[in-house]
Structure 1
């Protein structure tokens, strides 16, 4: 038999990547490469050599040091959808121009440098041509292990409390044009933690935030979100670890507790007196270790969020992580900044 060449399907969606930095190379491009019905067509970077190198490595046909060429070409857009991973300012610029041109965009968080800019982008999202999708890349709620936790708890009542811990080794100096380390930390990890809480519990009725200075460069910020019906979310973000540490704990109104340690270990427990208690009576717990053989991009959510974005673009349906929903995240963080002096 003669050698055969496998080519993308005729209907493959043409993707362009803006910003082939470390995060994109480590997480987004591998997830995109495995996405059915998708084809990386173009790469854009500020440095021509970086764009060319990434295009060669990941099999893209086109590369450029001017991302606007992917949208404003003489023959129309060179891509059907863009993935952008850079600074908040870059995300906002790409979103504004692409949405006006009818090109769908998955923008890594944070999608804008401030709330005023995000409000303008949300208006552009609403005014975009029919079928144009904007998606903010919050990977944590899309992680397969987190979704397994939620599916496990769903039969056992509604959520009453949520605790999230996200600490990392960075930033230890201001980034993305932020004036302070605290503001940079809130832009980086704070958006993730608040987004997770708001997806589960909604917009809070009261916000309390406190900051602890660990040393000259390291901070811990604790946020309490309170709801009129007594529900609570407690969030901790910090830059004092030597690596990314992520843990969340959810408690339902039946007293069932579910926790996820990083993206790997899921533990469920319930009191013996809880309704329907059986397998998880008394001091017993159920622990699930996520198999390493399944790969990390689904477990961490990067593959799953891309699948969701891709599905919305193909079907012409609204995004389930839109810019408009992200506005509430930014407004909560504005209050956190006010109380902690993060932009002072």
Structure 2
């Protein structure tokens, strides 16, 4: 006997149906099995179901093979979760439009882990790359799962940092888990399968197209306790994810950037509108003190391996506060080099900047 999960897989595979029409059909008929049984005249009563769409549904009933689909999933190691399955992520069920099914490949138990979604531009600056690497390395090292979309730029950097830190990461795809987009991230996707999870609500071989990305983004925020936006221009897809996070009652964090950079306009706007400003991982621990239990100075030393210049600066700074000019004199480094080292250590949560170009060691 076929299950509702199998019927939903069929319905999502029908050309021209897609996520929105699938949702409307299920709302109208109550189940995907009822859609399978429905005559054409009843299908046409559903808003947005045109005659061409109804014909696609009727034709697919003749060509679709439930057994071939089951064999394909077994052969590729893909697991399917229906929203009524006990393994379906509880956090995702809280949003107003959770996916009816999820295709997952990798460690599916990560779906209920403590997680932060990290999003940003596909063309980051050096500053954005550094911030993403440092924050995601430290978060992943402390046991936080990094959720992102496997896109170029910030997404890929976030996934890579989590893997290199020995942590876990979830990639939510705008296409199928067997049709990786962009293709140049295929190798990264294979590594994620071994140490994390690939997930999509679209059929495994589905190709990504522009309309799928906003739909995908609601899953990134839905799986996460908070969304962290690193670099984003105005009218960026990352801001859509932030808006969805707010609708889902998730926290929104943003990294401030130079006011002269177009890629910081979106994040600076978010901060102006009330997003929590993130200048180091300590700001995140401040919001989630229960997550800080896995965080220690030992972990910092192991994860970041301070170089001699950083160690000298850290020892000079101490906990009482030191002026920038004093650090330049003691270190005998250029002002630009000291600025760079201080930024890196600030992002690692090792130092804090105070008013008047003063710096002090973080107490975390």
Instruction: Answer whether TM exceeds 0.5 for this pair.
Output: no
Q: Which has the larger radius of gyration?
A: 2
Higher helix share: 2
Shorter chain as denominator, the TM-score bin is: 0.3 to 0.5
**Bigger RCO (CA 8 Å, 6+ sep):** 1
